[in-house]
């Protein structure tokens, strides 16, 4: 099947749940992205800042670029002028840097707060307690150039669907709990969970955004 066929098939599955498809284009050539673009797809995800900037410079400017990987503070300024959504904000220091760069670019940058839900300790993210403390703090209310729109999480890399489902379900419950912290710049509307291996479970468990690469573009080199 072609890239366009893959996207059409995914839209048929996801549109019923009103779930946004972010096509993860990391390591993929411009030609592959343009094949998806030419059929009307506009949301693409990258996990490395340098590659994201290069593709932004090369490709049409109405693409909505999602930064889905771990983001270092010293790299924020490179994407601040154009990034549509930063999915993996995992510290207050990073959030403050995004706010600083948003101010410099006269724009409010949309962000998701990453929650650590997996068994692997190598994955990033806030614990639930840390996030409660952050959302209740005065510091976050002073960040006027970020727009927190929800949460992001990555499940354990496991073949046990029951484990993955329980992690996504717990995150969805926590997402609903966090709505009590909503303010003018905090709105819990988006839940970014699910990749090519587990998106069918994520959509069952309340995901509003899925990040899919290999099921669209094929396996990476």
* Per-domain residue ranges of the chain: 3-215
User: What pTM was estimated for this model as a whole?
Assistant: 0.95
Arithmetic mean of pLDDT, 94-119: 96
3-class SS of residue 100: helix
CA nearest neighbour of 94 among 38, 57, 50, 148: 148
User: Distance between CA atoms of 28 and 25, rounded to whole angstroms?
Assistant: 5
The residue among 113, 120, 112 whose CA lies nearest residue 167 is: 120
Taking the mean position of all CA atoms in its chain, how far away is CA 60? Answer: 21
Residue 37, C-beta contacts closer than 8 angstroms, at least 6 positions apart: 59, 60, 63
Closest listed residue to residue 45, CA positions, set 219, 216, 221: 216
CA neighbours within 13 Å on the CB side: how many for 94? 20
In the numeric block, the tokens 């098939």 are attached to 9
pLDDT tens-digit profile of 108-158? 999 999 999 988 777 789 999 999 999 999 899 889 999 999 999 999 988
The predicted pLDDT at position 16 comes to 65
Report which of residues 13 and 185 the model is more confident about.
185
* pLDDT tens-digit map of 161-217: 999 999 999 999 999 999 999 999 999 999 999 999 999 999 999 999 999 999 999
Pick the CATH number of 3-215 from 3.20.20.10, 3.30.360.10, 3.40.50.1000, 3.50.50.60: 3.20.20.10
Of 174, 194, 64, nearest to 128 (Cα)? 174
Q: Is the dihedral of CA 198, 6, 124, 116 positive or negative?
A: negative
């Amino acid at each position: 099947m072609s890239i366009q066929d893959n996207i059409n098939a995914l839209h048929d599955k996801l549109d019923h749940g009103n779930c946004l498809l972010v096509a993860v284009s990391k390591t993929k050539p411009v030609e592959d992205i343009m094949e998806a673009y030419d059929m009307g797809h506009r949301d693409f995800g990258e996990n490395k800042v340098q590659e994201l900037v290069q593709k932004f410079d090369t490709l049409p400017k109405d693409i909505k670029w999602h930064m889905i990987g771990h983001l270092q503070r010293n790299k924020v300024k490179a994407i601040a002028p154009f990034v549509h959504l930063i999915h993996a904000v995992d510290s207050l220091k990073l959030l403050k840097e995004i706010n600083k760069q948003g101010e410099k670019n006269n724009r409010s940058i949309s962000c998701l707060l990453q929650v650590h839900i997996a068994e692997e300790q190598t994955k990033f993210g806030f614990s639930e307690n840390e996030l409660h403390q952050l959302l209740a703090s005065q510091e976050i209310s002073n960040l006027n150039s970020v727009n927190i729109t929800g949460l992001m999480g990555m499940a354990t890399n496991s073949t046990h669907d029951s484990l993955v489902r329980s992690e996504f379900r717990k995150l969805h419950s926590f997402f609903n709990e966090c709505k009590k912290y909503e303010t003018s710049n905090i709105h819990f509307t988006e839940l970014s969970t699910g990749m090519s291996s587990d998106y069918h479970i994520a959509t069952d468990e309340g995901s509003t955004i899925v990040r899919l690469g290999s099921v669209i573009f094929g396996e990476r080199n």
